[in-house]
Amino acid sequence: MPPSADPHRFGRVDDDGTVWLVTSAGERVVGSWQAGEHDAAYAHFGRRFDDLATEVALMERRLASGNGDARKIKSAAAALAETLPTAAVLGDVDTLAARLSAIVEQADSHAAAERQKRDEHRATQTARKEALAAEAEDIAANATQWKAAGDRLREILDEWRTITGLDRKTDDALWKRYSAARETFNRRRGSHFAELDRERVSTRQAKEALCVRAEQLSGSTDWAATSATFRDMLTEWKAAGRAAKDVDDALWRRFKAAQDTFFSARNAVNAERDAEFEANAAAKERLLAEAEAIDVSDADAARAALRTIGAKWDAVGKVPREKAPDFERRMKAVEKAVRDAASTPGTDPEAQARADQFRVRAEQYEAQAAKAEAAGRTKDAEQARASAAQWREWAEAAVQALGRKR
């Protein structure tokens, strides 16, 4: 035992066994020793002092390390200090009392530091939860990417559960904000998908109606009008929106099948018509070659040859649209050459002009008939052909009358 802890320095034992503790405040009896030698008494009461000193040393170490609760250490030091005036020990009680007093004072500063640390931690944790609550409220009010937003709200909840240290009142208030935001988001999401379901039902019904119309039109032979109707229906289809993917895909296959049926039939007819027009073009090409080879030195023979070719020309029918202007130009050139050859002093210019006018009118009506036929206006085409035939008849009569006057 160190000299400073030597119980002989801080007490004495009388011959009758009375044990005295010596302190700066004087002497006091701490016990009576009747069990043997006085050294045994010193050892016994010295060990009891050592126990107190060990307890104080533990308090000092815990306080210095920062691992203990300063408030509890202070309470324990104060309680131990109150027992010192009556403690049955032999040792440096004055120093022990000073050490306990120092522990109490240091515990106050440590407690203040711990309190500040706790306050800072609480503020940090509160700020974290406030930020999470604000983010949840923003998601609830504005999010439209429903899956990503729902995933983020779950991540916020997972992070929320790791944040501790708030006071109960603040924590409850922030939880109510988060919980309310999550409920608002769930309501908005539910409303969105309910509305989406309603829209999909409406879209399905609209597209089913378009399918029925398309199937009804698939057998039409009114090519131009039905083609325009299918284009309008496709615009309606795109504007209708989307139903559920499997339903939408099935409806599209149904609509497209009807559409393909119509256009395949139309394309087949067009291909047949194009083949006919090409054959007509070849025939007119041959007639043009004949017309362009007419010898205009004999006006009467030239007119007769041109009339024969003209009759065959009118009987041939339509040619591809891109070839018609060139054919007409070449035939008019031949007609002009024949007219010019026939323009001799004995010719009646007025009668010739009238015959030409009738022929031009006939050609105009024939062009109108072809245009009406291509547009699917059958009745208009028939009327135009009838008018063309009438004007063609008048033109032939005028040509014949001109021939008789010569």
**Does residue 96 surpass a pLDDT of 50?**
yes
* H or E segment to which residue 65 belongs: helix 38-65
**Does residue 4 surpass a pLDDT of 70?**
no
Contact 54, 80 (CB under 8 A): no
For residue range 261-293, list pLDDT tens digits in order: 988 998 888 788 888 888 988 988 898 888 888
Cα→Cα distances 169→129, 166, 353, Å: 13, 8, 110
User: What's the rounded Cα separation, in Å, for the pair 204 and 376?
Assistant: 33
Q: Are 173 and 190 in a shared domain?
A: yes
* H or E segment to which residue 402 belongs: helix 378-405
More confident residue, 170 or 345: 170
The average pLDDT across 317-340 equals: 86
Q: Are 349 and 322 in a shared domain?
A: yes
Q: Are 139 and 206 in a shared domain?
A: no
**What mean pLDDT value characterizes the chain?**
87
Query: What pLDDT does 2 receive?
Result: 43
Domain holding 83, by residue range, is 3-118
User: What's the rounded Cα separation, in Å, for the pair 174 and 189?
Assistant: 23
For residue range 237-264, list pLDDT tens digits in order: 889 888 888 988 998 998 899 889 988 9
The average pLDDT across 79-95 equals: 93
**Alpha helices, DSSP H only, in 90-167?**
93-142, 146-161
User: What's the rounded Cα separation, in Å, for the pair 72 and 99?
Assistant: 16
User: What's the rounded Cα separation, in Å, for the pair 337 and 329?
Assistant: 12
Single out the residue in 220, 245, 266 at which a domain terminates.
266
How many domains, in total, are found in the chain?
A: 4
Q: Which range among 95-104, 152-161, 386-395 shows the weakest confidence by mean pLDDT?
A: 386-395
**Does residue 347 surpass a pLDDT of 70?**
no
| 169: Cα separation from own chain's centroid | 40
> Do the bridges between strand 18-23 and strand 11-13 make them parallel or antiparallel, or are there none, so unpaired?
antiparallel
The average pLDDT across 355-380 equals: 84
The average pLDDT across 165-189 equals: 92
Q: Are 130 and 187 in a shared domain?
A: yes
Single out the residue in 207, 236, 266 at which a domain terminates.
266
Tokens of 214: 């398309």
Q: Are 164 and 225 in a shared domain?
A: no
User: What's the rounded Cα separation, in Å, for the pair 46 and 219?
Assistant: 120
Cβ atoms within 10 Å, residue 174: 20
User: What's the rounded Cα separation, in Å, for the pair 37 and 393?
Assistant: 167
Q: Are 275 and 397 in a shared domain?
A: yes
The average pLDDT across 362-373 equals: 86
The average pLDDT across 8-35 equals: 91
